[in-house]
Structure 1
Amino acid sequence: MPYEPPTHTVERSLRATTGAKTVAGVDEVGRGAWAGPVTVCAAVTGLRKPPAGLTDSKLISPKRRAELAPLLERWVTAYGLGDASPQEIDELGMTAALRLAAIRALEALPVRPDAVILDGKHDYLGPPWQVRTVIKGDQSCIAVAAASVIAKVRRDKVMAELGAESGEYEDFAFGANAGYPSPVHRAALEERGPTAHHRLSWSYLDALPKWQHLKKVRFSAEAAALESGGQLGFDF
């Protein structure tokens, strides 16, 4: 099924209505995983024509993503990456962890953006950032699409390297599933239990009686108050 290519329409609107000179597209990957960090990329693209085939990373084959990511890294004006670790996710909850990772990505940019285009309908950044949320922004907005590809390829590489680390985590097949749910991943969890790279507040532990004692209280009361502001969907 063909998809409409992303455009600079939202970025042009922000420039026209707010006077923003630097606009960053922001997207995340790893939100629905059982293991590994959540990774956020902030990309500034200006208004130039992107490399051919750019769209939401989930609509691009792994081979093409791997080819496209280095092209995008050279093509963008700037990009920054930020992670929140499994331990931070357990402590803070996903909303606050996403915000932490996004701030790290934005602060990694050489210039602070005047405005941010955030994929999805929930603004997990908030003040003082000027945010425009866009549902399916990773399909419709060039800067967000670029961020989605760079973040996806970067996180997949991190998880593949982790899966090959001295063979210690080979049974979990992180190189194939990137820490997301899969039959192989579940079987390894049942046999070996969670590793230091797993999120111990996640509900997958409820189905693993042998390891339920490891489950942590999901996050602090302060983070729970923030989390209750909106439910975020998973990006499998």
Structure 2
Amino acid sequence: MPYEPPTHSVERSLRATLGARTVVGVDEVGRGAWAGPVTVCAAVTGLRRPPEGLTDSKLISVKRRTALARVLVGWVTSYALGHASPEEIDRLGMTASLRLAAVRALEALPVRPDAVILDGKHDYLGGPWRVRTVIKGDQSCVAVAAASVIAKVHRDGMMAEIGAGHARFCFADNAGYPSPVHRAALEELGPTPHHRLSWSYLDALPRWQHLKKVRIPDGGGEQLGLEF
């Protein structure tokens, strides 16, 4: 399906309006998975012409995405990855976990960005960074598209490695996301140590519902309780 290639228009706008010399694109992968971490990539690209075929990672075949990621890690000015574990997702919730992973990625960059382009309409990052949210930024912004591809390929590789010890779950194929094979393995074997135990998939698995965790606000923050 034809698509418009991403541009540097948002990066140029941030340079012009904020004087931002270093602009970083940020995108996440793994938000809707049942298992595995949520992963965030922060990528700095400058204003160079991007590699051919760059767009949102979900629009590219696995083969092309993998090849493109190999090109991108050498093409970007710099990039870094951050993760929030299933345990952190269960304890903190997804929004706070996204921020945690994004902060880890941003703080791992060799330079501190002057502005951040965040994919989507919700700013889950906040201060002290100056954030510009862009809906479908992974399709329209070069830096965000680059972050999208690098994050997806890296997390898929992580899940394939995890899957080597849990063959029935086929993590190499589904990356921890819902699938018929994944659900069948859960019904028979129950969650692995890599599953998110606060996710609603457990509601449909009576045999394993006793493992479900819920976050209970207690005034000073949130803590885990067991749902029986």
TM-score (norm 1): 0.92
**Structure 1 runs (4+) greater than 4 angstroms displaced:** 219-224
1:206 pairs with 2:203:
yes
Equivalent-residue separation in structure 2 for 1:180 and 1:223 (angstroms): 29
Equivalent-residue separation in structure 2 for 1:158 and 1:212 (angstroms): 27
1:84 pairs with 2:84:
yes
Per the alignment, residue 173 of structure 2 pairs with: 176
Residue 218 (structure 1) shift: 3.3
Q: Could you list the per-position Cα deviations for residues 193-227 of structure 1 after superposition, in whole angstroms to 9, with x for gaps in the alignment?
A: 00100000000000000000000013655667xxx
Equivalent-residue separation in structure 2 for 1:155 and 1:184 (angstroms): 20
Equivalent-residue separation in structure 1 for 2:221 and 2:139 (angstroms): 30
Per the alignment, residue 115 of structure 1 pairs with: 115
Equivalent-residue separation in structure 2 for 1:83 and 1:219 (angstroms): 23
Equivalent-residue separation in structure 2 for 1:94 and 1:100 (angstroms): 10
Per the alignment, residue 161 of structure 1 pairs with: 161
Amino acid at match of 2:53: G
Equivalent-residue separation in structure 1 for 2:119 and 2:100 (angstroms): 16
For residues 1-236 of structure 1, what are the structure 2 equivalents within 5 Å? Answer: 1-165=1-165, 169-218=166-215, 220-221=217-218
Root-mean-square deviation (Å): 1.0
Equivalent-residue separation in structure 2 for 1:142 and 1:135 (angstroms): 13
Q: Could you list the per-position Cα deviations for residues 108-127 of structure 1 after superposition, in whole angstroms to 9, with x for gaps in the alignment?
A: 10001000000000000001
Is the Cα contact below 8 Å between 1:137 and 1:145 reproduced in 2? yes
Is the Cα contact below 8 Å between 1:22 and 1:46 reproduced in 2? yes
TM-score (norm 2): 0.95
Equivalent-residue separation in structure 1 for 2:187 and 2:22 (angstroms): 48
Amino acid at match of 1:83: H
The secondary structure found in structure 1 opposite 2:214 is coil
Residue 107 (structure 1) shift: 0.6
The secondary structure found in structure 2 opposite 1:5 is coil
Is the Cα contact below 8 Å between 1:7 and 1:142 reproduced in 2? yes
The secondary structure found in structure 2 opposite 1:2 is coil
Amino acid at match of 1:12: R
More off after superposition, 150-159 vs 214-223: 214-223
C-alpha distance 81-219 of structure 1, shift in aligned 2 (>3 A): farther
Equivalent-residue separation in structure 1 for 2:170 and 2:221 (angstroms): 31
Equivalent-residue separation in structure 2 for 1:73 and 1:218 (angstroms): 37
Equivalent-residue separation in structure 1 for 2:43 and 2:217 (angstroms): 31
Is the Cα contact below 8 Å between 1:6 and 1:142 reproduced in 2? yes
Question: Unpaired segments of 5 or more residues in structure 2?
Answer: 223-228
The secondary structure found in structure 2 opposite 1:218 is strand
In percent, how many aligned pairs have the same letter? 81
Q: Could you list the per-position Cα deviations for residues 22-44 of structure 1 after superposition, in whole angstroms to 9, with x for gaps in the alignment?
A: 00000000000000000000000
The secondary structure found in structure 2 opposite 1:63 is helix
Amino acid at match of 1:204: Y
Equivalent-residue separation in structure 2 for 1:17 and 1:155 (angstroms): 34
Q: Could you list the per-position Cα deviations for residues 39-98 of structure 1 after superposition, in whole angstroms to 9, with x for gaps in the alignment?
A: 000000000001100000000000001100010000000001000000000000000000
Question: Unpaired segments of 5 or more residues in structure 1?
Answer: 225-236
Specify which structure has the higher proportion of strand: 2
Q: How many residues align?
A: 221
